[in-house]
Chain A
Amino acid sequence: MTDGPLIVQSDKTILLDVDHPLSTECRRAIAPFAELERSPEHIHTYRLTNLGLWNARAAGHDAELVIDTLIKYSRYAVPHSLLVDIAETMSRYGRLRLEADPVHGLILVTTDTGVLEEVIRAKKIAPLLGVRIDKETIAVHPSQRGQIKQSLLRLGWPAEDFAGYVDGQAHDIALKEDGWKIRQYQEHAAEGFWHGGSGVVVLPCGAGKTIVGAAAMAHAKATTLILVTNTIAARQWREELLKRTTLTDEEIGEYSGSKKEIRPVTIATYQVMTKKKNGVYAHLDLFDTHDWGLIIYDEVHLLPAPIFRFTADIQSRRRLGLTATLVREDGMEGEVFSLIGPKRFDVPWKEIEAQGYIAPAECVEVRVNLTEAERLSYATAEPENRYRYCATTRTKRNVVEEIVAHHANEQILVIGQYLDQLDELSETLGVPVIKGDTPQKERERLFAAFRTGEIKCLVVSKVANFSVDLPEATIAVQVSGAFGSRQEEAQRLGRILRPKSDGRGAIFYSVVSRDTIDQDFAQNRQRFLAEQGYSYRIIDADDIFQGKF
């Protein structure tokens, strides 16, 4: 028994003691093969998954290294069955390889004929295969390159893809480092991707994934298709590319619901790609309109299912996935692995945080007591109206007033979902409100004023906070708004809140009505944010009124 920082659990989770002197070293050692699940303050939880182990294999780590690492850092003896399982799983990767063949086009080659025999007998695989060339080789229909990788992964025999890529139409792109410098980890990420061919780069929110994308484009020097989650993200990409690369406005096109430009670098939204016209995906052609040399998928963990289908058909083009996490809520991690590629680079949050590039915000939940009368109305309200009732209670207004007064010298955004509540707040606080129907001009004016510090506080609706030009603030106060994907929530948080120059962290207040479903939502948020390493505390509205923050 050693006194290591790691505890390997029988359910394949790994606990890392952050306060242990060896923890940093150990974190680095296990990062290639274990997925970080939770990172609260003392013990981080990692998980060993098949995909994680195969990712490690793809990155050149072998089972021995994984096992040695676990044994080396483990505090207690590691269950033997687990080690056997790891070795067994990892040995499955790479027994089958896809290669380019001058005569047969695409071939599936194996070092283990038993495995080949097994897979060619599988119902899902057989139709994808061509003639048997010899004992260890079989031809594959080139159009099925993606399909076969997907099916093989499902069978548990992931194939390594050595079939190479087309170069695509050349287009000169370079990074333009004027007044800024690419961070070292971003450069490593881009290089890691380029040498691996295709794959996914995992970086935490706010770590500058766009720049990794730009750097990858500079490597490829070819026409590029960028797929992003929505129009706001598309515009953000565009701005970043203009700022960071030699690309000019004319070279970048936007392909979305409102614009359909196809240019050497085209940014398309998932939404438009998955839009159906008369039952068919109308914009599928985009993949073929150009001889793309590189395809970038932003937020791979949100990639919609139909895109995978397109992606399966373009396996000969280089693909880069960018994400903060490989965990998908729909469990399609396998598709990411087989169709976009294995993980090529990741760097733990804490490391980037230590370098001062990102800082987790502090989250404060303010609990508001309902008055007796309010409680009674809440209790008798119809279930569908309950959330609205408790989220817009009068008491919240007073609390927001106090918070805004407390942070009088800082840039504050007040975010809410219900328009009448926002109007009331704007009136009470005496600050402007931006809603969905606010004209673009007015919006820009207000944002500009907020940026310069002319306006210290803004009330914005949920619609408005999706806007790309939403300025950064140090304080955010959320008064209402049920949450969709928890992932999205954290990302938005990361975008709005930047650490202040004096090192003080940003604060995110959420005002919650006690003993209502508002509080239940808050509990989920607490768990998620705490797992992400944000600090979280709860205070009573009464304390706020007494000036205790």
Chain B
Amino acid sequence: MEIRSYADYLRALDDAAFISIFTHRPDLVTPVPPDIASLAVRASSAPSLARAVDGLNKWQLQVLEACAVLNEPFSEKELTSCTDKSAIFTLPGLIERGLLYQDKDGLRIPTTLREVLGNEIAGLGPASMGALKLKKLDEAPASSKKVLDAMLWGPPRGTIGDIKKPGAGVQWLLDENFLIPFNQTTVVLPREVAIYLRGNKVHRELETFAPPVTGESRNPKSVQLAAIANITTFLRWTEEVLNFWAQEPPTALRSGGLGVRDLKELSLHLGVDESCAAFVAEVSYLAGLLTIDPDDKILPTHQFDIWLLQNPAVRWQQLLSAWLISSRMSGLVGKEGSKNVAPLGPELDRSLAASTRKLVLNLLCENSEIAPDSQSLYMTAQWLMPNKRSGGVQEDYILWTLREAEWFGITGQGAISAYGIDFLNGGDSAAIISDLPQSVDHILIQSDNTAIAPGPLEHEVAQELALIADIESRGGATVYRFSESSIRRGLDHGRTGEEITKFLKKTSKTPMPQPLEYLIADVAKKHGKLRVGNTVSFIRCEDSVLITQILGDKRLDVLGFRKIAPEVLICGHDAAEAMSVLRSFGYLPAGEDSRGLLLSGPRIQRAQTKARPPRIIGEIDKPDEIQIQNALRALRTGEKSSRKQSTMRNIATEALGSLPRTTANETLELLSGYLQNQPATSLSIGYADNNGLVSHRIVDPLKLSAGSLIARDHATGEVQTFRIARITGVAAL
């Protein structure tokens, strides 16, 4: 079959070729197009081509640019002569992506690709209209040569004072058609001239190979040690963030995300800088361990409780997997010189986030012996992802990814750890479990009222201890401090003095210091002596002395107490306020409900809603084999049925002898085929007007753009825009 168009080329492909196209360009099968014509339209549409181009490395991009500069069809020889012999090896890659195809005359590229690559590809101007005597350029006068040198490597446009009175150098070039006047003050260097002067090459320098990644070499053993320290730390951070917020959930900003003050508080609590605190919060959010509930409270989810029950390896993997595919860049939080971006907020999505992350991690894997220098990593990444459309790989993203990988323990001392490699290869990271410090189930209590857990504490013990003591120092070990207020907190949570003492005696490896026992007993004895009502707001105490003391306490005057019985006071303020005032002046009240039952204190909270981790944007996953096979089958079927339909219609049309009728895809295919081959004939189209009346037009298509056909209408002789959607059919005349 004669290959006329891109669609025809696609039709002729075998399954293997399709599979490779779909693997490289997953957007072509999401959703699966109905037939090959639609596939061809999608594959040669600008957005899809741009995505495909994004996936090229620098060298592939340069070859593709060279292809775009050549006149179609072109031969491999033409291509290699304007680039390099090794360009031949990049061709299969381009063909696999459907960015280049071969018909009987030679190589071609999809028409829209030129637009995608930009107006002035490789700094080259448009092709000249007429034939040029390029040899003459060698004899150009010196002043002209100077002009040519300035414009040689692009941009190909030059500004002059006035086109009517150019200097001698420019005049000579204009005369010889080596420059084309563009408007009153601008001249353009035609492509042929530039290529000739570039020595028949397109690029000044060909970047055939990626620059190597350099960095300091690291001892694998210390890398492992550092990584395990990082992993332990990160898991601890995550747990602490969520426990912290379970007790005092921050409220999300109206614009979404965490407020500056809450972030500061969090970073203080964790003892890390704000960017790190933001990262820990973000990762918890991504993994669904916390969510923003309908009341705008930021709370841990039930998922967090499940997560806590997992072993450290699974916990680590869950966080890591969420981070790996996320399109959110938490590094943007607190970035210097940019506006304030809130963590957990809506402004963190960046389309290149996940791909940059994968790229960096791959480079780390490939250079596992060293801690790559970020600058060299950046250079390599730029070669691998030259990506013109979005400005290429951002250096910030690379720095952030390296930083985050270190926090995570994917790397240790900057070099990738065995855990990181294992995870990226889909391993189960089981090594972490054996390498992590074993959790301990005991504490050491000392007589300065501190308790030290000499290692990661078992979950239940840690939870219980956190109730009755304040954490003073974190790390491999945890230092807890007992104080009157921390013991009171335990009592507020419904523990009794005896229970606390018993728990500590059971958990402590060292004998319980006597002063601590006294402290607990003292607080327990006093705790609850005062009971404050919630609804009627009363204060009662069996100890009338204390009542007298309170009544006499001038600092409590704000509460407006009135003594209603020797043991009861009432107060004009609500109970919570009364309690806080009392506490602030050193009393130890306990809440009581209207039936006289003791209210227990604040509970650790969980969100009632389901986890809704943020959506991932920008990236489409690589389809697996089954998906591709399904897509292919659907395509083939669609193709058969549409061919059948179109045959039926043609028979009908012939019978009716009326307006041409084609499907939208056929229409596009015919039009782009026309534009590509530029035959001498005109086209006949059916075109519906605003009222749906279809008229018959004879047109010469000029351009397809933005869903419209721009063509010269034979009836009016003017260039007109036809909406593709309104074209009922196309036929060659």
Which residues of A pack against B, CB within 8 Å? 1, 7-11, 13, 15, 17, 38, 40-43, 45, 74-80, 365, 367, 372, 375-376, 379-380, 515, 523, 526-527, 530-531, 535-538
Contacts and interface: CB of A to CB of B under 8 A. Distances in A.
A102 B477 CA distance: 55
Residue among A80, A375, A537 with most chain B CB within 10 A: A80
B530 to A, nearest CB: 14
Nearest to A43: B452
Given A40-B446, A76-B229, A76-B455, A13 B473 contact: yes
A7 B454 contact: yes
Contacts of A375: 545
Contacts of B444: 42-43
Contact of B475 (A8, A40, A367): A8
The 3 A-B residue pairs whose C-beta atoms are closest, nearest first, are: A9-B475, A379-B549, A77-B229
Given A1-B437, A40-B447, A380 B452 contact: no
A56 B526 CA distance: 49
Contact of A9 (B230, B474, B513): B474
A309 to B, nearest CB: 35
Interface in B484-529: 510, 513-515, 518-519, 522, 526
A38 B476 contact: no
Contacts of A13: 473, 475, 479
A376 B551 CA distance: 12
B515 A15 contact: no
Contacts of B519: 523
B226 interface: yes
A379 B476 contact: no
B107 interface: no
B548 A79 contact: no
Interface in B541-571: 545-546, 548-549, 552
B549 A40 contact: no
Contacts of B322: none
A7 B437 CA distance: 12
Contact of A372 (B230, B545, B552): B545
Nearest to B225: A77
A129 B413 CA distance: 40
B437 A10 contact: no
| Residue in A1, A11, A42 with the greatest tally of chain B CB atoms within 10 Å | A42
B476 A75 contact: yes
Interface string B429-452: 000000101000000101111101
A537 to B, nearest CB: 5
6 contacts: A43-B452, A76-B232, A76-B476, A372-B545, A379-B552, A526-B447
A10 B475 CA distance: 5
B228 interface: yes
Contacts of A75: 437, 454-455, 476
B230 A80 contact: yes
Contacts of B229: 76-80
A531 B481 CA distance: 13
Contacts of B413: 80
Interface of B: 225-226, 228-230, 232-233, 271, 406, 412-413, 435, 437, 444, 446-450, 452, 454-455, 473-477, 479, 510, 513-515, 518-519, 522, 526, 545-546, 548-549, 552
Contacts of A372: 545
A379 B519 CA distance: 21
In this complex, the member of B229, B444, B548 whose beta carbon has the largest number of chain A beta carbons within 10 angstroms is B229
B548 A7 contact: no
B473 A9 contact: yes
Given A8-B476, A77-B232, A380-B548, 7 more contacts: A42-B452, A43-B446, A74-B476, A76-B232, A526-B515, A536-B513, A536-B515
Contacts of A535: 447
Nearest to A534: B447
B437 A76 contact: yes
B474 A10 contact: yes
B387 to A, nearest CB: 32
Contacts of B510: 41-42
Nearest to A517: B586
Contacts of B447: 40-41, 526, 530, 535-536
A9 B272 CA distance: 13
Nearest to A44: B446
A379 B448 contact: no
Nearest to B543: A375
A379 B545 contact: yes
A74 B477 CA distance: 11
A538 B520 CA distance: 13
Given A42-B446, A79-B233, A536-B515, A15 B452 contact: yes
B476 A7 contact: yes
A98 B476 CA distance: 41
A76 B475 CA distance: 9
A436 B637 CA distance: 111
A423 to B, nearest CB: 30
A531 to B, nearest CB: 5
B452 A379 contact: no
Contacts of A40: 446-448, 450
Contacts of A538: 514-515, 518
A499 B488 CA distance: 39
A531 B454 contact: no
Contact of B474 (A11, A379, A380): A11
Given A10-B271, A379-B545, A17 B226 contact: no
Contacts of B435: 1
A523 B522 CA distance: 12
A199 to B, nearest CB: 30
A105 to B, nearest CB: 43
A523 to B, nearest CB: 8
Given A8-B475, A379-B546, A80 B448 contact: no
A537 B230 contact: no
B20 to A, nearest CB: 43
A527 B454 contact: no
Contact of B233 (A1, A10, A530): A10
Contact of B448 (A7, A15, A527): A527
A537 B514 contact: yes
Contacts of A376: 545, 548
Contacts of B232: 76-77
A537 B510 CA distance: 16
Given A76-B455, A380-B548, A380-B549, A530 B475 contact: no
Contacts of B454: 7, 15, 17, 43, 75
Nearest to A537: B514
A40 B515 CA distance: 13
B112 to A, nearest CB: 50
Nearest to B549: A379
Contacts of B271: 10-11
Nearest to B544: A376
B260 to A, nearest CB: 23
Contact of A41 (B446, B449, B475, B522): B446
B149 to A, nearest CB: 41
Nearest to B510: A42
A79 B455 contact: no
Contacts of B477: 7, 9, 15
Contacts of B474: 9-11
A237 B412 CA distance: 55
A459 to B, nearest CB: 27
A38 B448 contact: yes
B471 to A, nearest CB: 10
B552 A380 contact: yes
Nearest to B271: A11
A41 B446 CA distance: 6
B479 A45 contact: yes
A379 B587 CA distance: 12
A77 B229 CA distance: 5
Nearest to A519: B522
Contacts of A78: 225, 229
A17 B552 CA distance: 50
